[in-house]
Structure 1
Amino acid sequence: MTWEWDVIWKYFPRLLEGAWLTMELVLISGLIGIALAIPLSLMRASTRPWVKALPFAYIYFFRGTPLLVQIFLVYYGASQFEAVRESVFWPMLRQPYWCAIIAFSLNTAAYSAELFRSAIQAIPTGEIEAAEAMGMSKTIQIRRIILPRAFGIALPAYGNEVILMLKGSALASTITLLDLTGMARTIIARTYTPLEMFLAAGVVYLAISALIIALFRFMEYRFNRYQYYHHSDTPADLDPQLRDPHIDLK
């Protein structure tokens, strides 16, 4: 068996085009997923059964069914309803790109909501009680205490979710999208070099994963940097500006 390295170098720019589409799908789906996951997680953390019933059913469905099935339901299922074909959303729903975005967003929102829900419930009750003692309203508590703390707690696990979403994005090729996997399959159909192309695609996936891991390591350090300080450090040691006694700390 001989390796055809020249084929990899010849079609590597095409693989990068597919990699760009893959990162675009992951980024847009991730942002939409977070926007959906925040209210879902707050509802799931509620003590009222009627409030958390609907998000529980949503999360149960999307976590309990395969992502491929969800993609097919959006891509093939939406066109089965006449009301959908006649709606203003049809120009978007008939395109595989937006169908993949919708399916990925709904899927990652379910997983992210559970991560944030567990992070919210992991916040020490003393911090919430302190906020209430200071007279903070529930809205201010959510904005200034609950969500920042929950995001810092859930950040390591959410990084794993983004990696899983990156790998799951390979299923976009099943609805004719030329993402990284789809582009590799198209090149293989022309060159009959499956081992070389899939190996090259795997290397690109590893490179993207390394970038994501590095990004989340940096974000984790920024959001949870207080955990990296020694107990002997004083506030003045952590921030030189705090040495100035004339600075208003309110």
Structure 2
Amino acid sequence: MVTVVRHSQIRGLMAMDGTTILELGEIEAVWLDNAGHVAYLSGREGYFSLDQVADISQQTLSTCGRLVVETPDNLQLLHELRVQSFWGDMLGWVDDFLFDWHTGEIAAYVLAGRSVEPLGEHAVFYPKDVEELAPDYLRLKENAYEDLRPESEGLEGFFSEEPQPGQSRVGLMRHRLYPLLLPQDGPDVVQVKVTAASDELVASGEHHSSPLQAATALLHNHWERLLHNLGRSGQRAKVALALARQHLLGRSQT
């Protein structure tokens, strides 16, 4: 999934209002809702919902819509939350986590603490391993501790773990592809368009071929997700355009 990011990759990014190009400050916290999904991000200027996120690069996070000044109800932090075994024994804490910034779904949890030292500095578990998520702890299912995996093994294949050159090339190709892709495109058509976009970038002479080849292979394998993201990005673009129009009309009337 090419929209999976780490919490640690989001914190510290500069948030920017995509309709006014104003900087909103750095992202300081990522918040979950009652269902355990990422729902809000926050910084010094306030809160904005995950649905307002238009795009994420390695330097900035682009948003659309108004910030919420007051804290939304029923939110909780996942970062540094205590992790318990099924029997209530303290295992450590959530040092990081991966989530899909289009849907808010958690993809993986990164556990730190002395109990995971045999596996390395961190261990990984998944949403299927969670018995209970409470405001002050996360409890694993009965046999989940035995299924913990070393970080390098447990996060293998996630887009957030791709080398930065590969991630940036995927983002570049994604922006080139969105105007070309149609919702009714099948896998063969999508893959042809992905290859064509890659060939254009190679022909420009401005990009190394190795990261582009890796990005092309990744997008070939995730063509369905690419089309799904196209639909969501289109919806968010319409929202951003409507908000920009409202902003301009409001200014013209003052």
TM-score normalised per structure 1: 0.25
TM-score normalised per structure 2: 0.25
Q: Which has more radius of gyration?
A: 1
Higher helix share: 1
